[in-house]
């Protein structure tokens, strides 16, 4: 059985891999997929924080970033909350075909770069809160 620290490290390592994937997908112009992986990065770091601040080592099976962070002492700014609401959309739109087709017009290169920049800033903030 893994320790809490091992579970936390697992999620952090998975987030690192997903961040690399998000960047590669951006470079290859797979914008929706890049945004889906950006969501995964933040989700996995949120799950790490959930484990850190809760007695159990297995976080809830949810993709909702705000919900996961609600079980931690982290206080989100209004800007961070708005960003997470936006990012939450990409776990759904990247997963289901009826959402996926509607996103092609919105998820162009400049939009994706903007979201990834915000994701990177939030990712770093979460990592700092894990230390």
Region for 84 from its dihedrals, namely left if φ exceeds 0, alpha if ψ lies in -120 to 50, beta otherwise: alpha
The predicted-structure confidence for 62-121, as pLDDT tens digits, reads as follows: 999 999 999 999 999 999 999 999 999 888 655 566 666 667 778 899 999 999 999 999
Query: How much is the pTM?
Result: 0.93
Number of domains in the chain: 1
Helical pair 4-27 and 31-53, crossing angle rounded to 10 deg:
170
What pLDDT, on a 0 to 100 scale, did the predictor assign at position 91?
83
Proportion of the chain above pLDDT 70, given as a percent: 92
Query: Would you state the structure tokens that stand for residue 90, as one six-digit string?
Result: 């990409």
Give residues with Cβ within 8 angstroms of 79, minimum separation 6: none
**CATH number of the structural domain spanning residue 102:** 1.20.120.330
Parent domain of 112: 4-130
């Amino acid at each position: 059985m893994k320790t809490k620290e091992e579970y936390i490290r697992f999620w952090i390592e998975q987030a690192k891999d997903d961040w690399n994937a998000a960047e590669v997908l951006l470079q290859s112009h797979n914008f929706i997929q890049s945004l889906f992986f950006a969501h995964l990065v933040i989700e996995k770091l949120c799950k790490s924080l959930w484990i850190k601040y809760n007695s159990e080592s297995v976080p809830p099976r949810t993709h909702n970033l705000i919900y996961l962070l609600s079980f931690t002492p982290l206080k989100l700014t209004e800007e961070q909350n708005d960003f997470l609401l936006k990012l939450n959309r990409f776990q759904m739109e990247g997963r289901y075909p009826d959402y996926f087709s509607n996103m092609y017009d919105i998820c162009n290169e400049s939009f994706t770069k903007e979201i990834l920049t915000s994701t990177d800033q939030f990712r770093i903030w979460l990592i700092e809160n894990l230390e």
